[in-house]
Amino acid sequence: MTEEELEKERHIDDDCNVVAHYYRAKMLYPNIPFYLQDENGDNYEFGWSLIYDYISNISYYPDW
């Protein structure tokens, strides 16, 4: 496995971790909005629509 493939898997693992935390927090606090800041400093409301949009744009799925 190349370093580039490992890096892509790390990104997917990190993203899955963020989604898991979001899901758990929404179970505890269903009415609180959650925001995500990207590397450019732009803020986005983090929700299911953003998750689905991200999943639809993933071009790399490892063979697990």
Is the residue at 62 inside a domain? no
Is the residue at 63 inside a domain? no
Is the residue at 44 inside a domain? yes
- Is the pLDDT score of 11 beyond 80? no
Q: What is the pLDDT of residue 28?
A: 93
Is the residue at 24 inside a domain? yes
For the whole model, what pTM was predicted? 0.60
d(CA 15, CA 37): 13
The residue that leads in pLDDT, 33 or 58, is: 33
How many CA atoms lie within 13 Å of 50's alpha carbon, on the beta-carbon side?
A: 15
Confidence of residue 17 (pLDDT cuts 50, 70, 90): confident
Average pLDDT of the residues of the chain: 80
Q: How many domains are contained in the chain? A: 1
Domain with 19 in it: 3-57
